[in-house]
């Protein structure tokens, strides 16, 4: 251990969750990686310094911003020394010390100065740097990644990665790179632990809905109408139908089997489109894909998603194979561009991008913000500390005099400020801060001067309202202005602060925030969790502080699910856990915990908003719900939820997620038989009297078979095919668990682990692993979800078989989870446990001809649900 690091010592007692994390550190660092998820307020920086001390090696600490970099040095001096006397540190990466604090940008700039990268590697070797600490490691999705992974691949390091939110919602390549650098997640500090220890305050998320303005509604309706007209015209376009019928996949499928196997969606879209046009699909075209003559195929309706698949391939992905039709394809391309369906090589008939931009920046949200701030001010009075974060400044609205949705038609810092300036009664407590613009009310100049001499700044009256002043520094940096505004906010001179998420979303610390409005379009896990973290920190001056986090959504009433803006909000809620909003509170990471109805209609929006404002005022209820929910668990677990879906299918066969149709069918059949029996006996007494009991029994059985023979056959077939859903899911869970144990993925004692599968009130099934550690729980949940999801491109398929199944023409296909599918010997272990728990089966390798043929058939069985979400992973406090 380096001498200076040995002199460091934490000056305070560790919190219980910090002590537990450090207790397991030696086991986790055995692979030279320590990857920790720790939410804002958990003492992540302090834990990082303690880990540096434990490792005892010369260290480079990397942070995303100068503010966060400086916090490391501040925490080091404040918590690990007696009088801030530690000297063996550096802020200059070119002159490293025992601990060097730098930013990712500075490392990247340093990396680029080396023409010969061997000199770059040698620099770290020469200076004996052996530990790399990556703070807020989720930032490593961009070009900073290259200089780090290059360094890691050529020098041996301890890698310590600290983050509040891994970038799970990034693309597969970026996520893979992230984990390649940081290693698998070793430990996690849970938000409920922090609330329990009062290191985070009790908090709740609230959603305020708005209706689009008339112009936006007209835009949406017109957009949908153009798409509908295009689709109707296409179904009767003989030229296009003829063009599709000549496509090689339809005209000569036998000659292009390999292409069909690799792009099942494309082939499916062709068949579904032609079927919708009334074209007869020859039997042999399905038989060559694995269907036999006895199977009945029922095609789904032509959804817009299928048109997307069709045109994305015709105009982009498959275009090189259609060069002889290029003049016609150009016509189609021009037509799609004219209705805004084709943009940047992407076909989109749903209008997600176009409509989302309209709804996400809807000026109707400006009215929502005024309502929220007014309600919060009425409730908290002088205690209100409200921050509103958004994406853009929109300086073009700075001199706008008429404040309405006609003149201010975009959301941003200045539009929000203007609306609050005009429509909020206590405007003297309002301020604006961004990287290039600061506005305050003239009544706080005295408070401003007490913090910093006003002579160092220029104060220019706002043209549309001279009570407000634009603040410009004569010589100081923007960081000093941020510090001044933060102090004014903390002491209450400013109560409502409008700013950009880029400036205040990460690294900014103002513990007094008790109301946060997220007026940002960003729905990524990382950004939304970082912004939300501003409001849930505890306030040493307000021990009973609660945080209200407000989310805004503009409803698209032309679709049942509320539209893309609501979809983005649902995704945002995947990023964090919170307490539910019902009488029996629980802690989970889902939008559903807020108990909103599935379909939000125009006529219910006002009622929902009034109810939400009423709930937000009752802050003591938030504390009570956290207290009730926390005692129900001890840690966060991954849980697989299988959604209750409708019964429409591509072929008249139902997959795993339709098993429970049996329960209702058998109940219906039993009731009908009982009524039949009573009625038959009542009506047939004369047969017993005239012909005798034996003749009566013959008559009864004949009538029974005529009435119920087919239904009994159907019931038996359904039972063989499906069974009961929750029981089947549990058996699948046992298969996965036993395979994990046999292959050595599980280290917990087997007797301590159980699988629980049950139906919840809305018809969904939940299944989780009880007793495993966090890593084991995540492995199990991921494997189960892969097994249940629509089939994409697994290496192996497992098919249930039996004598009855062959006779009744029943097949169920399941993808072997990726964790087992990488090696044949692992797949065979999975197959063995499947046979023990779920019966006979066959295994197919999908990278060979027979397997690829079966894979395409399996995909077609799932084709109706190709665009539906079948299951999801939820994080639950248990």
Q: What is the pLDDT of residue 720?
A: 45
Q: What residues does each domain of the chain span?
A: 3-189, 202-213+362-634, 216-351, 661-719, 725-877
Q: What is the pLDDT of residue 215?
A: 81
Checking if the pLDDT of 738 tops 50, the result is yes
CA dist 24 and 436 (Å) reads 46
Q: Which of 761, 757, 726, 759 is nearest to 584 (CA)?
A: 761
Residues 6+ apart with CB under 8 A from 187: 21, 24, 28, 36, 37, 774
pLDDT tens-digit readout, 94-105: 999 999 999 999
Checking if the pLDDT of 854 tops 80, the result is no
Q: Which secondary structure element, helix H or strand E, spans residue 58, and what is its range?
A: strand 58-63
Q: Look at 185-194, 524-533, 776-785, 806-815 and tell me which has the smallest mean pLDDT.
A: 806-815
Checking if the pLDDT of 523 tops 70, the result is no
CA dist 489 and 487 (Å) reads 5
CA dist 234 and 241 (Å) reads 8
Checking if the pLDDT of 33 tops 80, the result is yes
Residues 6+ apart with CB under 8 A from 31: 183
- Note the CATH number of domain 3-189: 3.40.50.300
Checking if the pLDDT of 270 tops 60, the result is yes
Give me the mean pLDDT over the 594-600 stretch: 86
Q: What is the pLDDT of residue 867?
A: 54
Q: What angle do CA 356, 362, 548 make, to 5 degrees?
A: 100
Give me the mean pLDDT over the 288-303 stretch: 68
Q: Could you tell me the sign of the dihedral formed by the alpha carbons of 775, 22, 76, 59, in that order?
A: negative
| Number of other residues whose CB lies within 10 A of the CB of residue 191 | 26
Counted residue by residue, the chain has a size of 878
pLDDT band, very low/low/confident/very high, at 469 (cuts 50, 70, 90): very high
Give me the mean pLDDT over the 181-197 stretch: 88
Query: The tokens 């080091």 sit on which residue?
Result: 76
Q: What angle do CA 736, 163, 503 make, to 5 degrees?
A: 140
pLDDT band, very low/low/confident/very high, at 665 (cuts 50, 70, 90): very low
pLDDT tens-digit readout, 553-590: 999 887 777 888 888 888 888 878 999 998 899 999 88
pLDDT band, very low/low/confident/very high, at 762 (cuts 50, 70, 90): low
pLDDT band, very low/low/confident/very high, at 809 (cuts 50, 70, 90): very low
Matching fold, domains 3-189 and 202-213+362-634: yes
Q: Which of 681, 638, 640 is nearest to 657 (CA)?
A: 640
pLDDT band, very low/low/confident/very high, at 218 (cuts 50, 70, 90): confident
Checking if the pLDDT of 544 tops 70, the result is yes
pLDDT band, very low/low/confident/very high, at 290 (cuts 50, 70, 90): low
Q: Which secondary structure element, helix H or strand E, spans residue 90, and what is its range?
A: strand 89-90
Specify the higher pLDDT residue, 282 or 741.
Answer: 741
User: Coil, strand, or helix at residue 283?
Assistant: helix
CA dist 238 and 277 (Å) reads 10
Q: Which of 579, 594, 570 is nearest to 631 (CA)?
A: 579
CA dist 21 and 36 (Å) reads 9
Q: Which fold has domain 202-213+362-634?
A: Rossmann fold (3.40.50)
| Number of other residues whose CB lies within 10 A of the CB of residue 25 | 18
pLDDT tens-digit readout, 311-366: 999 999 999 999 999 999 999 999 999 998 998 899 988 776 667 677 888 899 99
Q: Could you tell me the sign of the dihedral formed by the alpha carbons of 658, 663, 667, 669, in that order?
A: positive
399 to 390, 407, 462: CA distances (angstroms): 20, 11, 8
Q: Which of 664, 646, 668 is nearest to 655 (CA)?
A: 646
pLDDT tens-digit readout, 601-644: 888 999 999 999 999 999 999 999 999 999 998 888 888 877 75
Q: What is the pLDDT of residue 664?
A: 43
Q: What is the pLDDT of residue 805?
A: 39
Checking if the pLDDT of 300 tops 90, the result is no
98 to 43, 53, 56: CA distances (angstroms): 22, 11, 9
Q: What are 143's two structure tokens?
A: 């070009």
How do strand 796-800 and strand 765-770 relate by DSSP bridges? Answer: unpaired
Q: Which of 464, 486, 471, 357 is nearest to 419 (CA)?
A: 464
Q: What is the pLDDT of residue 459?
A: 95
838 to 325, 698, 716, 835: CA distances (angstroms): 51, 39, 17, 5
DSSP 562: -
DSSP 385-442: -EEEEES---GGGTT--S-STTT--S-SHHHHHHHHHHH-S-GGGEEEE-SS-EEEEG
CA dist 497 and 484 (Å) reads 13
pLDDT band, very low/low/confident/very high, at 441 (cuts 50, 70, 90): very high
pTM: 0.79
Checking if the pLDDT of 693 tops 70, the result is no
406 to 25, 422, 424, 546: CA distances (angstroms): 58, 15, 19, 36
Q: What is the pLDDT of residue 246?
A: 94
pLDDT tens-digit readout, 228-265: 999 999 999 999 999 999 999 999 988 887 787 778 78
Q: What is the pLDDT of residue 864?
A: 44
Contact 612, 740 (CB under 8 A): no
Q: What is the pLDDT of residue 72?
A: 95
Checking if the pLDDT of 646 tops 50, the result is no
Checking if the pLDDT of 443 tops 70, the result is yes
467 to 219, 428, 442, 510, 702: CA distances (angstroms): 38, 8, 6, 26, 93
Give me the mean pLDDT over the 693-720 stretch: 53
Q: What are 435's two structure tokens?
A: 């990287």
CA dist 682 and 650 (Å) reads 44
pLDDT band, very low/low/confident/very high, at 45 (cuts 50, 70, 90): very high
- Which stretches of 138-278 are assigned E, i.e. beta strand? 158-163, 187-188, 202-210
Q: Which secondary structure element, helix H or strand E, spans residue 223, and what is its range?
A: helix 214-235
Q: What is the pLDDT of residue 701?
A: 59
pLDDT band, very low/low/confident/very high, at 869 (cuts 50, 70, 90): low
Checking if the pLDDT of 662 tops 50, the result is no
**Which of 22-31, 239-248, 280-289, 754-763 has maximum average pLDDT?**
239-248
Give me the mean pLDDT over the 501-509 stretch: 72
Q: What is the pLDDT of residue 368?
A: 97
Q: What is the pLDDT of residue 808?
A: 36
* % of residues, the chain, pLDDT over 70: 83
CA dist 334 and 353 (Å) reads 19
CA dist 280 and 291 (Å) reads 16
Q: How far apart are the first and last CA of the chain?
A: 40
720 to 264, 279, 475, 487, 859: CA distances (angstroms): 28, 35, 80, 69, 21
CA dist 179 and 166 (Å) reads 9
Q: What is the pLDDT of residue 627?
A: 95
User: Coil, strand, or helix at residue 30?
Assistant: helix
C-alpha radius of gyration, the chain, whole number: 32
Contact 316, 345 (CB under 8 A): yes
Q: What is the mean pLDDT of the chain?
A: 83
């Amino acid at each position: 251990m380096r001498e200076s690091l040995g002199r460091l010592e934490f000056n305070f007692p560790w919190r219980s969750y910090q002590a537990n994390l450090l207790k397991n550190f030696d086991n986790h660092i055995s692979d030279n990686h320590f990857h920790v998820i720790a939410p804002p307020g958990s003492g992540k920086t302090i834990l990082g310094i303690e880990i540096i001390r434990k490792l005892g090696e010369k260290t480079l600490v990397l942070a995303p911003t100068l503010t966060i970099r400086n916090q490391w040095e501040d925490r080091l001096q404040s918590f690990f020394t007696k009088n801030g006397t530690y000297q063996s540190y550096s802020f200059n990466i070119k002159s490293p010390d025992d601990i060097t604090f730098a930013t990712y940008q500075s490392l990247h700039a340093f990396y680029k100065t080396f023409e010969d990268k061997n000199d770059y590697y040698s620099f770290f070797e020469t200076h004996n740097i052996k530990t790399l600490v990556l703070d807020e490691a989720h930032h490593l999705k961009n070009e900073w990644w290259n200089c780090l992974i290059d360094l890691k691949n050529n020098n041996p390091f301890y890698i310590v990665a600290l983050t509040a939110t891994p970038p799970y919602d990034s693309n597969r390549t970026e996520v893979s790179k992230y984990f390649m650098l940081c290693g698998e997640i070793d430990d996690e500090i849970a938000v409920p632990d922090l609330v329990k220890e009062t290191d985070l305050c009790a908090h709740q998320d609230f959603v305020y809905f708005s209706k689009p303005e008339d112009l936006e509604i007209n835009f949406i309706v017109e957009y949908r109408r153009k798409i509908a007209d295009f689709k109707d015209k296409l179904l009767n376009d003989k030229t296009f139908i003829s063009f599709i019928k000549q496509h090689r996949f339809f005209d000569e499928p036998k000659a292009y089997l390999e292409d069909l196997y690799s792009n099942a969606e494309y082939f499916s879209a062709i068949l579904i489109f032609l079927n919708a046009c009334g074209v007869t699909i020859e039997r042999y075209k399905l038989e060559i894909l694995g269907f036999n003559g006895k199977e009945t195929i029922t095609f789904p309706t032509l959804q817009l998603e299928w048109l997307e698949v069709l045109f994305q391939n015709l105009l982009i992905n498959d275009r090189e194979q259609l060069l002889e039709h290029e003049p016609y394809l150009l016509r189609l391309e021009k037509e799609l561009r004219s209705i805004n369906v084709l943009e940047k090589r992407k076909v989109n008939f749903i209008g997600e991008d176009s409509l989302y931009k309209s709804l996400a920046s809807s000026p109707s949200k400006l009215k929502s913000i005024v309502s929220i701030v007014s309600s919060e001010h009425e409730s908290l009075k002088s205690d209100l500390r409200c921050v509103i974060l958004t994406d853009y400044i929109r300086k073009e609205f700075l001199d706008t005099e008429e404040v309405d949705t006609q003149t201010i038609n975009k959301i941003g810092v200045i539009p929000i400020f203007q609306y609050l300036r005009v429509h909020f009664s206590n405007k003297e407590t309002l301020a604006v801060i961004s990287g290039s613009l600061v506005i305050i009310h003239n009544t706080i100049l005295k408070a401003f001067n007490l913090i910093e001499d006003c002579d160092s700044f220029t104060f220019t009256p706002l043209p549309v309202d001279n009570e407000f002043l634009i603040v410009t520094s004569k010589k100081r940096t923007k960081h000093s202005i941020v510090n001044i505004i933060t102090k004014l906010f903390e002491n209450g001179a400013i109560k409502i602060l409008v700013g950009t998420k880029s400036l205040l979303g990460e690294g900014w610390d103002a513990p007094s925030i008790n109301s946060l409005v997220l007026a940002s379009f960003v729905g990524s896990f990382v950004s939304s969790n970082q912004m939300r973290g501003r409001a849930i920190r505890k306030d040493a001056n307000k021990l009973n502080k609660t945080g209200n986090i407000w989310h805004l959504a503009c409803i698209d009433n032309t679709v049942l699910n509320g539209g893309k803006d609501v979809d983005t909000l649902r995704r945002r809620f995947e990023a964090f856990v919170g307490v539910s909003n019902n009488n029996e509170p629980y802690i989970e990471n889902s939008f559903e915990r807020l108990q909103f109805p599935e379909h939000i209609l125009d006529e219910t929006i006002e009622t929902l908003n009034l109810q939400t404002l009423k709930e937000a005022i009752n802050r003591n209820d938030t504390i009570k719900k956290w207290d009730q929910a926390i005692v129900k668990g001890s840690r966060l677990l991954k849980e697989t939820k299988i959604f209750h879906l409708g019964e429409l299918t591509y072929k008249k066969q139902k997959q795993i997620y339709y098993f429970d149709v049996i329960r209702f069918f058998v109940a219906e059949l039993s009731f009908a038989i009982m009524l039949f029996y009573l009625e038959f006996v009542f009506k047939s007494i004369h047969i017993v009297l005239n012909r005798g009991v034996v003749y009566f029994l013959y008559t009864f059985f004949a009538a029974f078979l005529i009435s119920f023979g087919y239904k009994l056959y159907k019931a038996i077939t359904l039972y063989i095919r499906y069974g009961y859903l929750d029981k089947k899911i549990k058996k699948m869970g046992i298969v996965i668990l036993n395979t994990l144990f046999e292959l050595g993925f599980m280290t917990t004692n087997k007797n301590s682990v159980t699988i629980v599968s049950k139906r919840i009130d809305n018809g969904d099934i939940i299944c989780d692993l009880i007793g495993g550690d966090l890593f084991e729980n995540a492995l199990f949940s991921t494997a189960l979800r892969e097994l249940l999801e629509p089939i994409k491109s697994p290496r192996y398929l497992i098919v249930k078989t039996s004598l009855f199944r062959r006779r009744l023409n029943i097949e169920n296909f399941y993808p072997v989870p990726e964790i087992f599918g990488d090696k044949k010997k692992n797949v065979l272990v999975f197959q063995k446990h499947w046979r023990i728990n779920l019966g006979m089966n066959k295994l197919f390798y999908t990278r060979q001809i027979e397997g690829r043929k079966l894979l395409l058939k399996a995909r077609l069985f799932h084709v109706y649900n190709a665009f539906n979400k079948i299951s999801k992973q939820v994080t639950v406090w248990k």
